[in-house]
Amino acid sequence: MTEKTAKKRHNMRDVARYAGVSVATVSRVVSGASSVADTTQARVRSAIDALNFVPSAAARVINSGRSYMVGALVPTLDHAIFSRFLDALERELADHGFSLVVATTHDDPDREARRAQDLLNLGVEGFVVSGLSHSDAFGDLIARYKTPVIATSYFDPSSPLVTVGYDNGAAALRALDHLVEMGHETIAVLSGPMRDNDRTRARVRALKRQPAQALQFHDVPMGLAASESVEDVLQSDPRVTAILCLSDVIAQGAMNGLRRLDVRVPEDMSVVGVDDLPSSQSIWPPLSSVHLPVTRMGTCAAERLARWIETGERARPLELETRMVARSTVRSLDGRAREP
């Protein structure tokens, strides 16, 4: 019978014993202190190499009070918007010497607070969150730990949280203006759930303040539901000539539903989205959509948060501009399709 050999992970005491120095000296060498003599440093580093010693991240946090970790709390990873945002966030944070830890909230404020506590227990030094709707428990955690927080995907300079994002209402109005410019008057609006999503609420609120157009609002939970709900849209009012979707996922679902009903886009029905996902350029026909600057948002949020953590100076809010990207899914009512 073969005996299993325990694989021991060497610690600082082992390194100190091997090098013939104190544990405190090893700690100073590992942390990069300049107060250790060159010959002693060489002995310690030789011992580290010989023992394949890897410093514990937890020990570094205890010894230095710094983790150089930032936590991102996002609704989901199953969405290209958050993938692009997190990619830019991680790259910029790495340039500033920080690592990124990600947790998902599923748009549940209570879950967000629990995951925030988990990340604080790991030692994160700051948070990036989505939107401004957060639980009292989350607010209490931030106040107790005095943790810097950047709220993204929303811009509100009066918010207690520092915001780096865009005006969601203005983004929705850009889509509406595009449809109106093309002659559409009776327009169906498809939105996702609003209960715990202040970004969607802001978009719907802005559209409801536009009495000049005949807007019909339909709440659909997911892209598949949008595919199934377009029949209701068509039956509710035969005058509807365009569907304004408050996300590209909903827009793509709506286009699938229209195709299933043999309704042509844009010849029979115009469709516009909000997001400008990469996939929206490659579907057929390519989707007209409002571009949200999520990559730049990730870079700017990371840069501001890293500076805040390092200097202690509170970051300033930043508004990023959205823009309409006209492609092939909106037709003018005189019969001319919009050129991509």
For helices 23-30 and 38-51, give the axis angle rounded to 10 degrees.
90
12-64 CATH fold: 434 Repressor (Amino-terminal Domain) (1.10.260)
| Domain ranges in the chain with CATH number 3.40.50.2300 | 69-167+294-321, 168-292
In this structure, the strands spanning 69-74 and 318-319 are unpaired
Phi/psi zone of residue 131: left (φ > 0), alpha (ψ -120 to 50 degrees), beta? left
Please, what is the average pLDDT of the chain? 90
Of 310 and 338, the one with more pLDDT: 310
In this structure, the strands spanning 323-325 and 288-291 are antiparallel
| pLDDT higher than threshold 50 for residue 3 | no
Q: What value does the mean pLDDT take over residues 117-128?
A: 94
Angle subtended at Cα 295 by Cα 204 and Cα 154, rounded to the nearest 5 degrees: 30
Rg (CA), the chain: 26
Identify the band that residue 7 occupies on the pLDDT scale cut at 50, 70 and 90. low
| Domain ranges in the chain with CATH number 1.10.260.40 | 12-64
Would you say domain 168-292 falls under CATH 3.40.50.2300?
yes
Q: What value does the mean pLDDT take over residues 53-82?
A: 81
**β partners of residue 163:** 151
Let me know: does 252 contact 196? Beta carbons within 8 Å.
no
Identify the band that residue 158 occupies on the pLDDT scale cut at 50, 70 and 90. very high
Let me know: does 337 contact 328? Beta carbons within 8 Å.
yes
Looking at the chain, the whole-number percentage of residues with pLDDT higher than 90 is 74
pLDDT at 59: 63
pLDDT at 211: 72
Identify the band that residue 63 occupies on the pLDDT scale cut at 50, 70 and 90. low
203 membership: H or E segment, kind and range: helix 198-208
In this structure, the strands spanning 323-325 and 127-130 are unpaired
44 membership: H or E segment, kind and range: helix 38-51
pLDDT at 337: 45
Distance of CA 209 to the CA centre of its chain: 28
| pLDDT higher than threshold 90 for residue 175 | yes
Of 236 and 324, the one with more pLDDT: 324
Report how far residue 227's alpha carbon sits from residue 221's, in angstroms, rounded to the nearest whole number: 11
Superfamily of domain 69-167+294-321: Response regulator (3.40.50.2300)
Let me know: does 244 contact 176? Beta carbons within 8 Å.
yes
Q: Which two tokens stand for residue 1?
A: 């019978």
> What pTM did the predictor assign?
0.82
